[in-house]
Structure 1
Amino acid sequence: MADQGLIRETACTVVDKLKSGEVTPLDCLDALEVRINAVDDKVNALPTLCFDRARDHAKALMSKPANARGLLAGLPVPIKDLTDVAGVLTTQGSPIFKDRIPERSDLLVEHLEANGGVIYAKSNTPEFGAGANTFNEVFGATRNPWDTSRSAAGSSGGAAVALATGMAWLAHGSDMGGSLRNPASFCGIVGLRPSFGRVAQTPTTAVDRNLGVQGPMARNVEDLALLLDAMSGEYPADPISLPSPAISFLAAARSGRKPIRVAYSPDLGITPVDPEVAAVTRKAAQRFAELGVIVEEAHPDFSEAHECFHVLRALDFAMSKAELLRTKREQLKPEVIWNVEEGLKLTVAQITRAEAQRVAITARAVKFFETYDLLLAPATIVPPFPVENRYVAECAGRKFDNYVQWLGIVYAITLACCPALSLPCGFTETGLPVGLQMIAAPRADARLLAGAKVLEDVLGIANSTPIDPRAPR
């Protein structure tokens, strides 16, 4: 039987074993297949598997010298079902594409495979990534392993659950309005929205489309940094992609570099927050003081964030999904129809105003980070909610205007062009994970990872996963 002890190792440890020859990529795939068969029927995180393709790729890698197998050296990685993998069912969570098998992989996948990643599964996502609860008409709902009656959030919910349950060591995700950060928070793992351009991808719809970015997910900060290194790099096919830094992100995470001054905000001045979530995140932020770091309550002005994001998100959906609305409307979920229709109603004046607001929000954030090294806030404003709820309709007695407004605490940071991650920072009284959102200035990804690792060490809960799925209590 495959060695299930491997499942509990960190990604960095497994990569070291792959490089030394202690284990092979095939050993890793065998361990994952056994684990998936044991637990995925309880959580539905990885609905599409491609182990035959993965083993073919693993054998090809094993034919190369150990030092020529890339940064990941044959470590398996699942890909979110929004992103094309050649020869593998890629549905985007939509009945429209329930049988679609692309001929070519996205640039991101090609790059990961060139860096020694082995693709073995597609992780579940909401239809077209719309909404922060992972369910769709093709595969159904993904459940939170800490309490299977609860949501895993989204849209990278399948990826987060795979990590939390030991069905992955690392995972690919993407983030527009918190799609990496929300499920990381709900599932007790780490998810990073990097600076845009940091991770190359195949352009679709627009060359400079940057509300959404691709990013890494992992069980701890060092593993997260390892995957960011493997995902980073400059490619002419993605004209806004950035070159890899001279010093690796893994080295930055391990540097021990402490911030000097950090800010904490329970709400960024724009949203209600569940009192328990606010208390857990505030307590975690204050732990920086034990290291001599100055912790103050402050945040930039994000007052325009709701209006700005509503317009720019609607514009993005209109650009990318208007043709599907015209030809396949009956197969789209109501939230997607609403998004596209909102976008098609926009005027040039509204778009111009929203773009100007984003410029102003970013400028204020950049100015803020001249004083503070990091900004800390809740990654989600509520604990994991019942999986049957399509979204959060109200919080702390306040009702929201639409199905995405509850995500303001994360999409405000999207608008500011800042890298941000969700770090596990504690639990509710009922044992559900809470994530602390950690934010740095644009392109200060290395500083962010260093600060996150320092706080992770102080908090001491990085080894809480993987877990077996838990029934409701």
Structure 2
Amino acid sequence: MAALAQGTDGGGSVRIPASFSGTVGFKASFGRIPSVTRPDAFLWGHPLVHIGPLARTVADAALMTAVMAGPHPRDPLSLPDTGIDDVAAVERPSRAPRIAFSPRLGNFPVDARVAAVVRGAVSSIQAQDIAVDEVELDFGVDHNELAALWVRTIGVHYAAIAVHWKGEGIDLLGDHADRLTPEFRRMLEDAVGVSAVDHALDDLLRTRILDGLEDVFEDHDLIVAPTLAVPPVRNATDGNTIGPTEINGEPVDPLIGWCMTYPVNFTGHPAISVPAGLTPEGLPVGLQIIGRRHDDESVLAMAARFERMQPWFQDYPGLAQADRAA
């Protein structure tokens, strides 16, 4: 419906819709694209929420990133301009990276249809004489503990906003409680009871996630994994879209537990979702490419290289027909 769009990725809200719609969604390193929040300029004091583009191609995503990126004096967490050239990264020949393939990104359960499509995409990469090692990440905790961490973390930020708004006369948990989704209301109610000390101690678990990623990056340039653990779910007409409660018989949090995107929100690493292929039912599956912190160019370069290996333009029938007519 649009050539370009943007999203606010706090747990995957750039990469999730990209995976579900067969498009490209890029989450640059935390701070690369500034976020001016008021009245709290330090609202996202940790790596968590990133603004990023969605596009039909990697080149378009890179171009939009180049326009959006750069330091902003009113975002104290924005990164300085270090001369990164996102557009050139897409076009230039890249050296052969050493890639770690993490089929479950630790221990996420993954739908067999998604796993098969992603493994096929990885085989296409290997066919280009690119070294790929199958390596599972070790975060030291179960995926359900990671999901609970994300819910607590983002819930505290939302609760702070809700408390501020209450002082401005907008009582989300009072006058407007019946207009909130059940999941969001429960998130706010639980977050109000989280102490400052407990919130700070959650950074110990965030550190495990950081170390789990960096352990792999000691020997590899990039990590590839499924973007999501399931094929696209039906979009709810009331705005309360949630995923499955279990995958392969294993319980998951329906709010975030099927999203293999949010771990890198905790750490600020760049990550992109590109179309990996289609399930037997014709539903899109995303391949997630994760890079070292601040090495956005390598992520874009590999994504563009994969796009050339396995082009997805033909999956947009309206565009393909227009191209043939032209």
TM-score (ref. length: structure 1): 0.60
Q: Which runs of 5+ in 1 are unaligned?
A: 1-161, 163-167, 469-473
Question: 1:245-288, CA deviations, whole angstroms, 9 ceiling, x for partnerless residues?
Answer: 42420001111214421011221123211101001001101222
Distance 1:251 1:280 in 2: 29
Q: Summarize the Cα distance change of 1:247–1:313 in structure 2 as closer, same or farther, 3 Å threshold.
A: closer
Q: Is the 1:270–1:303 contact (alpha carbons within 8 Å) kept by the matching residues of 2?
A: no
> Are 1:434 and 2:285 counterparts?
yes
Letter of the 1:376 partner, please give it. V
Q: 1:369 aligns with which of 217, 225, 228?
A: 217
2:149 alignment counterpart: 308
2:161 alignment counterpart: 320
2:15 alignment counterpart: 181
Structural mapping, 1:11-410, within 5 Å: 162=1, 168-204=2-38, 205-207=40-42, 209=44, 210-304=47-141, 305-322=146-163, 323=166, 324-388=172-236, 390-392=241-243, 393-407=245-259, 409-410=260-261
Distance 2:81 2:3 in 1: 22
Q: Residue 330 of structure 1: CA displacement?
A: 2.6
Distance 1:178 1:403 in 2: 12
1:38 alignment counterpart: none
1:83 alignment counterpart: none
Larger relative contact order, structure 1 or 2 (CA cutoff 8 Å, min sep 6): 2
Q: 2:311 aligns with which of 437, 460, 468?
A: 460
CA-based RMSD of the aligned residues comes to 2.0
Q: Is the 2:26–2:52 contact (alpha carbons within 8 Å) kept by the matching residues of 1?
A: yes
Moved over 4 A (4+): none
Q: Residue 222 of structure 1: CA displacement?
A: 0.7
Q: Summarize the Cα distance change of 1:240–1:348 in structure 2 as closer, same or farther, 3 Å threshold.
A: closer
Question: 1:99-141, CA deviations, whole angstroms, 9 ceiling, x for partnerless residues?
Answer: xxxxxxxxxxxxxxxxxxxxxxxxxxxxxxxxxxxxxxxxxxx
Q: Is the 1:203–1:238 contact (alpha carbons within 8 Å) kept by the matching residues of 2?
A: yes
Letter of the 2:299 partner, please give it. L
Question: 1:423-459, CA deviations, whole angstroms, 9 ceiling, x for partnerless residues?
Answer: 0010011111111011001111111000111111111
Aligned residue for 1:436, secondary structure, equals strand
Q: Is the 1:366–1:442 contact (alpha carbons within 8 Å) kept by the matching residues of 2?
A: no
Letter of the 1:201 partner, please give it. S
Distance 2:218 2:10 in 1: 25
Q: Summarize the Cα distance change of 1:259–1:373 in structure 2 as closer, same or farther, 3 Å threshold.
A: farther
Distance 2:264 2:175 in 1: 34
Q: Summarize the Cα distance change of 1:208–1:258 in structure 2 as closer, same or farther, 3 Å threshold.
A: farther
TM-score (ref. length: structure 2): 0.86
Give the total of aligned pairs.
301
Q: Is the 1:170–1:217 contact (alpha carbons within 8 Å) kept by the matching residues of 2?
A: yes
Q: Summarize the Cα distance change of 1:416–1:245 in structure 2 as closer, same or farther, 3 Å threshold.
A: same
Question: 1:352-396, CA deviations, whole angstroms, 9 ceiling, x for partnerless residues?
Answer: 221122123213323321211111111111111233483122222
Larger radius of gyration: 1
Q: Residue 466 of structure 1: CA displacement?
A: 6.1
2:323 alignment counterpart: none
Q: Which runs of 5+ in 2 are unaligned?
A: 167-171, 320-326
Distance 1:336 1:309 in 2: 13
Amino-acid identity (%): 35
Question: 1:215-247, CA deviations, whole angstroms, 9 ceiling, x for partnerless residues?
Answer: 111101111100000001111111111233424
Q: Is the 2:121–2:277 contact (alpha carbons within 8 Å) kept by the matching residues of 1?
A: yes
